[in-house]
Structure 1
């Protein structure tokens, strides 16, 4: 009755270098036999826990609007209809140029899983939608002797610029608040802070810094 019988989890690295878990739920079908309702609902727990939903639709299906209505009905029953949702219009390789324009007018992300088309745009859109661990811009100066810190920042953040100064590395970074907050001791301080000795920061005021292990 549907192809995906069990939820599948896969780790995905977003353009911001944040790592997320993507869950592929079972397919939604209408008029589900009562004997399968409980089992079907149990597999959708991931929907209730998710921060953002990706509603994957068959852009080439004549019944795509009907399918959308059925999915939204189930989401309402799960009390998940108000979650942030990105519509993913799949199989756009089967559409004409005019049909693509019509599909794009709905605000969804056009992709073709078969042709590997539009996937970068989808990841970027997902990156924008996630707010639980926001991306921050900071400048850090890390001693070259702290290879562990340099490796962690290299793996988990986007390095905009890098400059070697004596025995240290000055980096302009964009990365998750949870990661950069863990190494806030290496942040470059503003000139006014150096002069006054206040120990403040040019990018984020000290009192609002997250403690290590906390999320923004």
Structure 2
């Protein structure tokens, strides 16, 4: 069986439909993003066809005239693939497959394909397969041609590919199995998070639109060496590392999967547990690519998804990244922000200091005296609080300690008692 090599670019035609709600600029950005997604998946865009319509055609997505234009273009350019910029309904996919003698996928399948390439952990693989099968189930009928082409390029990859020719009952059974397995993994993650909470480390989550530079920033802040590349969805599985802020406070920093507008509904559900890391955060660093002309839409997408996850009251610092390539019309949309380059060591130190200050502002001040025998208290304060004043009073034979501690820390109430 022929397997596509990663260096063989698949010739791809993109098709987009501009509806009344889409202005020219947003529609243009959407197509640019579709091209980036295609390139990330291993394709090369040779042609883009667009059409303005009041609504998408229920049977063929685009109108009759544009469909004829697409047919002629396919015959002339002989692409490997046609990608549509929206999620196609089962009937649209069936009709277009019958009319065009070429493989057809939609935006959702393209994103699923990239996720299939990027999944690194067991949970990642399970979630991708679940999302792929949920997407495929209503589209099985009439897909004979596509489904027999296992492993033949973009849109056919991933854990689900060998399951595609089996019947619905088998797929439903597999979906049930995957959900059970994911349940176990999610429970394990919950226990792991609870254990981290017990250890009382401040948890900071990096969130942002895909390709905003989160992984580069994560590596600079923690020296973790995660995969970083100028591609969409370079990171799929959440990664957590400990790092120390200039104040001496240890924090746990988590890198999360990149957000994207119009994220397929099958993926929002499947990756909720991955994004649940964010719901546990004490503080959020929202990374935005300031060089992207559509950065405001990216910000709104992230805020909308955070709202859906009920993450609305966690303190946040917006980190505008890539200042060396900043868009000429860039204006920060919030005062609680910092413009940096993740590649500049001074900027990284400034970010650490700013993060430290903001975390400190959400803490409570304490002032206590500890005897030399209370070494455990002392080491806890050094690790879990911002210890600003530390002096041994020889007259009293006590350590005079002052600093800031989170209200949620188990020592908080005890420190309050001792101050009285």
Coarse TM-score class (shorter-chain normalised): 0.5 to 0.7
- Of residues 333, 347, 355 in structure 2, which corresponds to 1:126? 355
Residues 1:29 and 2:260 are matched in the alignment: yes
RMSD: 3.7
Aligned match of 2:402: 173
Q: Which moved more, 1:165-174 or 1:2-11?
A: 165-174
SS at 1:47's partner residue? helix
Aligned match of 1:209: none
Aligned equivalents of 2:278 and 2:381: distance in 1?
A: 31
In structure 2, the CA distance between the partners of 1:158 and 1:38, relative to structure 1 (3 Å rule), is same
Residues 1:84 and 2:353 are matched in the alignment: no
Residues 1:57 and 2:277 are matched in the alignment: no
- Tell me the CA shift for residue 114 of structure 1: 1.0
Higher helix share: 2
The answer (yes or no) to whether the contact 1:56–1:87 under 8 Å persists in 2 is yes
Q: Which moved more, 1:55-64 or 1:79-88?
A: 79-88
Aligned equivalents of 2:360 and 2:378: distance in 1?
A: 25
Instruction: For residues 143-197 of structure 1, give each alpha carbon's deviation from its aligned partner in whole angstroms, at most 9, with x where no partner exists.
Output: 3x6655555555555353524516935434324364865985xx9xxxxxxxxxx
In structure 2, the CA distance between the partners of 1:53 and 1:42, relative to structure 1 (3 Å rule), is same
The answer (yes or no) to whether the contact 1:16–1:174 under 8 Å persists in 2 is no
The answer (yes or no) to whether the contact 1:16–1:175 under 8 Å persists in 2 is no
The answer (yes or no) to whether the contact 2:250–2:383 under 8 Å persists in 1 is no
Note the 1:9-158 alignment, pairs <5 A. Answer: 9-95=240-326, 102-103=331-332, 106-130=335-359, 134-143=363-372, 151-155=379-383, 158=387
The answer (yes or no) to whether the contact 1:14–1:124 under 8 Å persists in 2 is yes
Aligned equivalents of 1:78 and 1:127: distance in 2?
A: 25
The answer (yes or no) to whether the contact 2:370–2:401 under 8 Å persists in 1 is no
The runs of 5 or more residues in structure 2 that have no matched partner are 1-231
- Which of 1 and 2 has higher RCO (CA within 8 Å, sep 6+)? 1
Find the structure with the greater CA-based Rg: 2
In structure 2, the CA distance between the partners of 1:104 and 1:17, relative to structure 1 (3 Å rule), is farther
Instruction: For residues 11-59 of structure 1, give each alpha carbon's deviation from its aligned partner in whole angstroms, at most 9, with x where no partner exists.
Output: 2333443333222110001233344332233321112222222211011
The answer (yes or no) to whether the contact 1:104–1:110 under 8 Å persists in 2 is no
SS at 2:367's partner residue? strand
